[in-house]
Chain A
Amino acid sequence: MKLILNGTETELKDGLTVTGLLETLKIDPGRVAVEVNLKIVKKCDYENHALNNMDAVEIVNFVGGG
């Protein structure tokens, strides 16, 4: 399936959950927040939130700022 991942169309394997996506990308879930189609996914739902073709997924973290 394809996801719009942080603004870029990206090919990923079918049937991923948010947990699966973060594992694939080697991202520590404790450091990020995830939004799917403009809705925040709570950490406790990562495991059960299935991603669908062409979902817009945003993964954000903290960067340097003032």
Chain B
Amino acid sequence: MDDKLIIRGIEFKSRLWVGTGKYRDFEETRKAIEASGADVVTVAVRRTNIFDNKSENLLDYIDLKKYKILPNTAGCYTLEDALRYARLARETGISDLIKIEVIGDEKTLFPDSCATLKATEILAKEGFIVLPYINDDPVMALRLVDAGAAAVMPLAAPIGSGLGIRNPYNLKIILEQAKVPIIVDAGVGTASDVALAMELGCDAVLLNTAIAGAKDPIAMAEAMKYGVIAGRLAFKAGRIQRKLYATASSPIEGML
């Protein structure tokens, strides 16, 4: 089935993208990524542990030939910080992709839309492939596309909340209006949430906590893989209309 996600000429095999935070260890991270079938993994930019050169590195566990790295600017609360982290991320020479995340509120981790828009505009001009994390805000999605976003990543619910898709109607509007890939990012809790996002027509789902925080992360990673596949297939198949009353599946004709 030729149903590949393409962003700025980059081909993605999987429509499930996964984060690498909150796992018990790198081995569990590696196994969960593998079980999820994802070919994109998100990472954060942080100070290298320079005083312990025996400490392991996440990238020792991720085959860069197999996986695309999507660095984020998680933890940044200002435009300046987001730009600094994004530029450092690219300077590693590992990826031109950047997930822009400028947080506006500590408690909800909702994005600062103004700073996100500005960061997107600046970094897109610098040649980054910018994927901004945004609220489920259709107008902001359009503004970000105008600013050069290669895709937009509306949240399903607050990061790490596991609440699932809080506003499917806003996502629908974003899908109709914004002519770039739409990747649901953050807030999903389980495989049915992922399936719902795909059934709505979203192009991909990015998640972390729903897998890393599950009792059995490896099994949940596999469940998410099937959630994405099932949801995408259902979307393409075209679901039946919802009706208030029943319609029999068996014929009346031939009854005794």
Contacts and interface: CB of A to CB of B under 8 A. Distances in A.
5 contacts: A6-B48, A25-B53, A62-B45, A65-B21, A66-B206
Contacts of A60: 45-48, 88, 92
A38 B83 CA distance: 12
Query: For the side of the interface on A, what is the size category?
Result: 20 to 34
Interface in A1-45: 5-8, 25-27, 30-35, 38, 40, 42-43
Contacts of A59: 47-48, 50
Interface of A: 5-8, 25-27, 30-35, 38, 40, 42-43, 58-66
Interface stretch (B67-75, B195-203, B217-225): B67-75
Interface in B204-239: 206-209, 212
Nearest to B88: A33
Contacts of B5: none
Contacts of B29: 64
Contacts of B50: 5-6, 25, 27, 59
A63 B44 CA distance: 5
A16 B194 CA distance: 51
Given A40-B91, A59-B48, A64 B43 contact: yes
